[in-house]
Each structure stands twice: as structure tokens, then as C-alpha cells.
Amino acid sequence: MIKPVGADKLLPLYIYDDSERDRLNQIATDLPSVIISSSAAANAVMLGGGYFTPLQGYMDLQDALGVAREMRTSSGAFFPVPVLNLVKSIEGIEAGQQIALRDPNVKGNPVIAIQQVETIEAVNDEQMALMTEKVYRTTDMEHPGVAEFNQQGRYAISGPIQVLNFSYFETDFPATFRTAVQIRAEIEKRGWHRVVAFQTRNPMHLAHEELCHMAMERLNCDGLVIHMLLGKLKPGDIPADVRDDAIRTMVRLYFPENSAMVTGYGFDMLYAGPREAVLHAYFRQNMGASHFIIGRDHAGVGDYYGAFDAQTIFDSEVPADALDIEIFRADHTAWSKKLNRVVMMNEAPDHSKEDFVLLSGTRVREMLSEGKAPPKEFSRPEVAEILIKYYQSL
């Protein structure tokens, strides 16, 4: 199986030993504590599950700025985005002590991790703007990822962490949430060697389904991991439980047995386009995928990124030795009226726009809200039924 990034084995920061975890939970009750941001809590979940191997905790400012500029920490380790614990107040917190990190997304704010504080650094406006511009390619506060990043706080608390739980992901999505450790174990159990991963924050329509089939066939893969984001999205996006139901229904009905695995990960969407695509590739390698599908507008939002920026960044900015995972570059896929099947649009040069079945997201939402299923050339009827039920419940 493919090795993790920068390590021979995964380095999950979750405390698996029950007695040690109980001891640390007890210790945490007497430690100074801070309610961290949703983003920092999501980082803790990813660190805990081994997805961010070989990181040992939150970055200091020097590492975060280096990663933002050139995707390298001060030690030369590759990582595509800053992993920070930004807070608004550092009252009662000092370097050298342990602190309890409290989860903002769970009632009662239980402790999600214990952090050994190495540094506490104030982040100035210039440094914040640099990280924002490099990661998001914009400083526009209308960009949901930019707004979220800049409202977290201006004090960066760095240092290693010990993760005590996986927030609400394990309890709210018990059949879907999986750590990188668990996915690697499942891939090995299934006897898969060449594995392609598909990222989604939306339900999968027919074009997405067929894209996965195309990738598996062309790459000669044993299996597919559909890996959906389970964390916070922007307003208007379809909730994770509805997506999960739609995707599982599609896989059950339209994929051969033991060919596809439906899983999810606990992270908040950044909407950072190209940089987020690299992060997606990074942690898919850590979970055991040998290949990763990147299509048009991957991880984007609005008009902030070019259609294929998330693909070309691997040629122009990612160091050649940084990742072993291979990228499957996809164009927009749609049903061809001429060929009576789904094709990649760049592989049908004799087609005009009118030769494809194309529906805008707005039109699809309108149809579903009206109780109308999109045409079968766009969406499986069983998937449409689930989405109609959701939209009519709003």
C-alpha cells in the first residue's frame, strides 16, 4: 500500500488506550482551558485520525507563514495549508503549560484535546493578509473561507496535542465517519491495491457516478473510496446526513459489490480551490489511496478560481517529490445526447453545448423543491427521490 506522506506509517494523535485517555480526561478538568474555533477543532479531528501525518500538533507562526508562501515548514516538511489554533483571548494561558482545548461544536464544550503550549504569538494584519492571499488567492471577505479564517482570532497557540475524541463526527455519523487509520485497515481487508478516491461535499448525480466508473476503469483500480466532507459548509449546501443517504443509495444500486466504500471525514470546508485540492490529495495519500480524482472547480466557490486551477497547481507549485499519490484529471462530465452516455466534455470535440444534458444548480434545486425529478440523464431517480424529500421539508 502507498506510504503516508513523509513517514513510513501513520502517526495518529488520538489516544487509543482507554485508561490513558480516561487519565488525560481527568487531568484536563484542572487545566486552563479555551473554547477553540470550529476550524481548530476540525484540525484536531484530522490530526487525531492520522490524516495530517506527520504533523504533531498546531503550527507556530513561522511554520504557518512558510507553508502559506511555499508549502514548506521551517524544517522543510511539505504541507499545503497552515494548521493553526487561532484564539481571540490568551488570558490565563502561558507558554510551557498544558491547556485543555474545548469543542465549540458539542453541547457543553467538552475537551477535545490537550495541547502542550510551545509558543503564543500575536498575528499582525500583514501576516494574516499574507496567509489569506496565499491560501485563498483572495482577501475578499465575501469569500466564505476567507471570512471564516479571519474571524478566528489573532493569537496563534502552537504545540503538540493529544486528541481525546472525534467531536460530533463519530456519534452523528457512526456508519460513515472513518479515520485514516480505519480506512487503511479496510482497504487492506478488502484486498485492494490500486485505490482511487473521490471527494464530495454534495450528493452525487449521474455524471459524478460515471466519472468514478471511468477513473476506476482507466486507472485499473481495485476499489473506490467515496470520501465525503462531514463538517461545516456554507449556507445553502445540502446537510451531510442527506448526502450520505443519497450516496449510499447510489452505491448500493449502481456499483458492483466490494468495488466502492462510502466514508466521511471530520473537517470544515475551506473553499480554497487549488490549495484545498492539494490538501485533499495529501490526506487521501495518508488514508491509503493511490489515485485521486480532481475535476473542474474542485473545492472552489463563486468565481474566485479558474476551472482547472486545482489541477495545474500540481504542475506549477507542488514540489515533484512532495506526494506519491497520482492525480486523475477530469473535465466536466455530462450526458451526451449524440452518444447516449455520460462523457467528459473535452473528449467530445464534435459536440456543442446543446448536445449535452446540462442543468444549473439553481434549476436543479427549483425542480427538486417543486417535487420534480431531474431527467434520468442527469440524476438517478432513487437519488432524486431522497433530494426531493429534503427540499420539500425546508
342 contacts: CB under 8 Å, gap ≥ 6: 206, 207, 210, 211, 333, 334, 335, 336
Residue 394: the pLDDT is 83
- The total of other beta-carbon atoms located within 10 Å of residue 364's CB is 18
pLDDT at 279 over 80: yes
What are the CA-CA distances from residue 115 to residues 22, 24, 40, 94 (Å)?
A: 16, 11, 12, 12
Residues in the chain: 394
Catalytic residue among 201, 248, 329, 365: 201
Average pLDDT estimate for 316-321: 93
- SS3 category, 382: helix
What is the percent of the chain with per-residue pLDDT over 70, rounded to a whole number? 100
Q: How confident is the model at residue 314 (pLDDT cuts 50, 70, 90)?
A: very high
Residue 233: the pLDDT is 73
Mind listing the pLDDT tens digit for each residue in 134-172? 999 999 999 999 999 999 999 999 999 999 999 999 999
Catalytic residue among 202, 248, 329, 365: 202
Beta pairing, strands 33-35 & 119-122: unpaired
Under a CB-based contact definition with an 8 Å cutoff, are residues 58 and 159 in contact?
Answer: yes
Residue 232: the pLDDT is 79
Residue 21: the pLDDT is 98
Annotation marks residue 23 as catalytic: no
Average pLDDT, the chain: 95
Mind listing the pLDDT tens digit for each residue in 370-386? 999 999 999 999 999 99
Residue 360: the pLDDT is 87
Please list the alpha-helical segments (H only) found in 71-161.
125-136, 144-150
What is the percent of the chain with per-residue pLDDT over 90, rounded to a whole number? 93
Classify domain 18-170 by CATH number: 3.10.400.10
Best CA proximity match to 264, nearest among 49, 29, 14, 35: 49
Annotation marks residue 137 as catalytic: no
Helix (H) or strand (E) holding 218: helix 206-219
For the chain, the domains span: 18-170, 174-392
pLDDT at 353 over 80: yes
The whole-model pTM stands at 0.94
Residue 39, amino acid: S
Q: How confident is the model at residue 18 (pLDDT cuts 50, 70, 90)?
A: very high
Under a CB-based contact definition with an 8 Å cutoff, are residues 184 and 198 in contact?
Answer: no
pLDDT at 110 over 80: yes
Q: Could you tell me which CATH class the domain 174-392 is placed in?
A: alpha beta
Average pLDDT estimate for 17-21: 98
Residue 64: the pLDDT is 98
Under a CB-based contact definition with an 8 Å cutoff, are residues 73 and 66 in contact?
Answer: yes
Residue 278: the pLDDT is 98
pLDDT at 49 over 90: yes
Mind listing the pLDDT tens digit for each residue in 183-237? 999 999 999 999 999 999 889 999 999 999 999 999 999 999 999 999 877 777 7
366 contacts: CB under 8 Å, gap ≥ 6: none
